[in-house]
Structure 1
């Protein structure tokens, strides 16, 4: 349980956590997988929460340049944001947070993050850690460690909001506390962490000791 515990900052994954981009992402990736003769249905289960270049690299496709393919996929995702929507309650929840006390930590490149946040009607915070900012993507903790450093807080004093196994593992490896947002989950996830369907059931209490989740 994390309700009532005080944190120095809140760190949010983007896709599946603040917004739902599954339809858009799966349209783009399904076309790519079909072109390369992959089992599309099985492949789509592997794309969430990690950087595109790492998804491509894992396929070990002969003659395929992962960096070039990832760049093309990112552009296709930027061009197709139909159906990208905010998770329920996310916009109002974020509006209550002090700008210097939260960040987005996403596996998406910055241009794609900007496009999807705009499509979902969500504002960009001052600090956004993206795929370009780190050498090792989720499940490595680098992105969350960097976000904490840039906010001037300890990672163990942060609350991470995540939805995918790779991101949850990254938050754990950074020694942060984790909350799982299940809005886009087709099936219940087995996790020891607090699970929230969306942001409608929680609010934020702010004082000089930090930020705390409370029941709305």
Structure 2
């Protein structure tokens, strides 16, 4: 909000966005391969870091029948959302790991920037933005399904 429309009240706009997400319900299914990847990660510590609000995000995971990790960082849990690294730094701290041992999966330029600023390895998914927009990432894949084998291999090394 600060970048796109600094004159608007971010708190009021978050409420509007949350209401829209509630109205949409399950209109946005999980990305292909998400259930399999998150199921495989149950053996590894992982976190959810999102600029979204807790209620709508949890509802989306529930509707998609996706597991949620123990560590969950939402937009309202940090002073500054992406592109600031606060969310990723907080998640790493709660996971008890240095950020350099964390892998961030992102589909937006601000998220990639936040992950890099936190000192994490960033795997980008060119699903909502072009690969060129995500060039700051360490790795980029066209989809989560194509990134999953790489992510699972990385999780075994952390």
Please give the TM-score of this superposition, normalised by the length of structure 1. 0.63
Alignment of 1:112-191 (within 5 A): 112-185=56-129, 187-190=130-133, 191=135
- Counterparts in 2 of 1:212 and 1:88: CA distance versus 1, 3 Å: farther
1:58 aligns with 5
Distance 1:88 1:55 in 2: 32
Contact 1:100 1:126 in 2 (8 A): no
1:199 aligns with 144
Backbone CA RMSD of aligned residues: 2.4
- Counterparts in 2 of 1:153 and 1:188: CA distance versus 1, 3 Å: closer
- Counterparts in 2 of 1:212 and 1:89: CA distance versus 1, 3 Å: farther
Higher fraction of helix: 2
Q: CA deviation at 1:194?
A: 1.0
- Structure showing greater radius of gyration is 1
1:86 aligns with 30
> Secondary structure in 2 aligned to 1:200?
helix
Q: Say how many residue pairs are matched.
A: 153
2:156 aligns with 211
Runs of 4+ in 1 over 3 A off after TM superposition: none
Long gaps (5+) in structure 2: none
Q: CA deviation at 1:165?
A: 0.6
Higher relative contact order (CA 8 A, sep 6+): 1
- Which whole-Å deviations, capped at 9, do the CAs of 1:54-81 have from their partners, x for residues lacking one? 35982415xxx44233213312212223
- Counterparts in 2 of 1:172 and 1:56: CA distance versus 1, 3 Å: closer
Long gaps (5+) in structure 1: 1-53
Please give the TM-score of this superposition, normalised by the length of structure 2. 0.84
Which of 49, 57, 75 aligns to 1:105? It is 49
Higher fraction of strand: 1
